[in-house]
Chains A and B, each alone.
Chain A
Amino acid sequence: MATLVYVEHHEGEPVKGSLGVLGKAAQLGDDVAAVLLGSGVEGMAEAVGRHGASRVFVADDPALEAPLPQPRVDVLATLVESEGFDNVVFGASVLASDVAAGLAARLDAGLNWDLVDLELKDGKLVGKRPALGDSVIVEVGWKNEPRLALVRSGTFEPAETGGSAEVTKVPVEIQDFSRQAVMVEQAHEESQGPSIEDADVIVAGGRGLGKSENFSLVEDLAKALGGAVAATRAVVDAGWYPYSTQVGQTGKTVSPKLYIACGISGAIQHKVGMQGSGTIVAINKDPNAPIFEYSDLAVVGDVHEIVPKLTELVREKRGS
């Protein structure tokens, strides 16, 4: 079973989600290849090899520099057909989702999305997709090859296998209609500290903080723990915090080792973005807040009193 993993990159580094998917694919089968598409991306091949790919296909072309989906579909379609890959696996992102869906149409191939696990059952690839607000897992499959799989972001942790990959250059031919969308500006928010996808600890704030200024409580605790700050959709919509930190159905999916939710009621839209976290601590003054149903430690109390004290104690303990 030959598997190709699409490796996305940002600022010259493969993203954690893609490397995690690569590690999972390497566990499932013996022949796992990765593909890097972009401009000046060959240097990342080594890191990709260390994370489980035995071969890395590199499509290096100025036409692939902007993170736009359609030129990538053109290159991938040719690569998948010429190499005869059985599976193509993507870690979900805004870009990867569009690439995967475009490729599905182009190759007339099945795409299963939002997968939180992949396994082999009697030699057959099975994907697991949560449904109905993650209350049930649907086991999904593919009728024929190639099978396209889009894995929910933050699902798998990357693992260094220490291997090295054979690098193969891929020809880049872009169709006319794929060149029509053009990137004219990229305004990326400068984030401080670790990004929420990469952080082991996330401290998240919700509307229960009362006002935008109170986000400093969350920031201080995150800093003391060496973690990142996340926000709920409600506070992002209210303009308290940038969208890039939004966790939930319409934001990012995160799975840190520790997730501390401050003043978050925990509506389903938030739950789906963070319930894969290792340990969930929730602080909320409403004893009936839904977030307590899926917290490991439920703290009923006032965030304004508890969080500053918690920050102080963590600083003492960690000497930070």
Chain B
Amino acid sequence: MKVAVCVKEVPDASAPKRLDPETFRLDRGVAGALNEFDTHAIEEGLQLKDKGGEGEVVAVLMGPERAADSLRKALAIGADRAVHVSDEGLVGSDLVATSKALAKALEREGADIVLFGQQAGDSDGAVLWAAVADHLRLPVISQAASLEASDGKVKVKRQTEYGYDVIEAPVPCVVAVSDAINEPRYPSLKGIMGAKKKPRETVSLSDLGLAAEDAGEPGSRTEVYGLSDPPSRGESERIEDDGPAAAEKIVDYLSSQKLI
């Protein structure tokens, strides 16, 4: 079983974040970290490989040079090999441009299963897999709360607004896993040391056979105009009154707002 896991570097959750006032893009000057949601996808990939008894887990990341640290972390957690899609020409890629480049990189891998985490921790995007699957012309299943692979197919329990669906698809296929699917392992000291020796490859636009006009800003179909403040909630009231008396004040408040 060969599994490709798509991972992303996002700003470290503990670092203060800001948007660049010129470009309105996330300021990447702050420390980066491997998107936490993607560690669930790596874990699932490792479990699939273990259950299958053989195979390979390849971490695929698109991002600037400095994102190599996140790829190294993916290797430290247990991925066997890493592919870093990195090119100046990819800067500013939106969904469509990103999905094209990733699909090209994944085509080269020809994995049985392509895994994604359930969202990007920075943009809250939860859309990339379906676009990538469309380029690859492969079946896609998202929000996987469990994943079994056997006899050339996968069986996925998908979480939806209404409960659970069970969906099957033949491999090769694309699956986005929910963060409820597993408890990701931490990199061990041995893993961290071993990561340095694992194969890592950097691929450029020309390696992917992708034209400059299909990548980065020229290949993007969306744009950003500016920033504004969210609507404010107005003044709030506070009751500091431990005990049942607070309940009466709440009822008074709700009545005054015509909510009951």
Contacts and interface: CB of A to CB of B under 8 A. Distances in A.
Whether A associates with B in a native complex is yes
A181 B169 contact: yes
B211 interface: no
Interface stretch (A48-56, A108-116, A161-169): A108-116
A247 B102 CA distance: 31
B26 to A, nearest CB: 8
A100 B221 CA distance: 14
Contacts of B130: 69, 97-102, 105
B19 interface: yes
Contact of B225 (A69, A139, A250): A139
B236 interface: yes
Contacts of B179: 250
Contacts of B259: 201, 257-258, 279
A173 to B, nearest CB: 15
A177 B228 contact: no
A143 B221 contact: yes
Contacts of A182: 167-169
B128 interface: yes
Interface residues of B, number: 84
Interface stretch (A34-42, A204-212, A311-319): A311-319
B211 to A, nearest CB: 13
Given A136-B19, A143-B223, A181-B168, A188 B163 contact: yes
A272 to B, nearest CB: 8
A219 to B, nearest CB: 17
Contacts, number: 269
Contact of B167 (A112, A178, A183, A189): A183
B165 A186 contact: yes
B95 A244 contact: no
Given A305-B242, A309-B247, A295 B127 contact: no
Contacts of B163: 186-189, 242, 244
A197 interface: yes
| A interface, over-half SS | mixed
Nearest to A278: B259
Contact of B250 (A73, A197, A297): A297
A234 interface: no
Nearest to B138: A177
Contacts of B138: 177, 180
A261 to B, nearest CB: 12
A114 B119 CA distance: 12
B168 A136 contact: no
Given A301-B241, A306-B250, A101 B161 contact: no
Given A93-B161, A98-B130, A300-B239, 12 more contacts: A69-B130, A70-B134, A112-B222, A113-B127, A137-B229, A141-B222, A180-B169, A181-B168, A183-B166, A184-B155, A189-B163, A283-B250
22 contacts: A67-B160, A70-B133, A70-B134, A97-B126, A98-B130, A108-B96, A138-B226, A175-B137, A177-B139, A181-B140, A181-B141, A184-B168, A187-B165, A243-B180, A279-B257, A281-B254, A283-B250, A300-B242, A302-B242, A305-B242, A306-B243, A307-B247
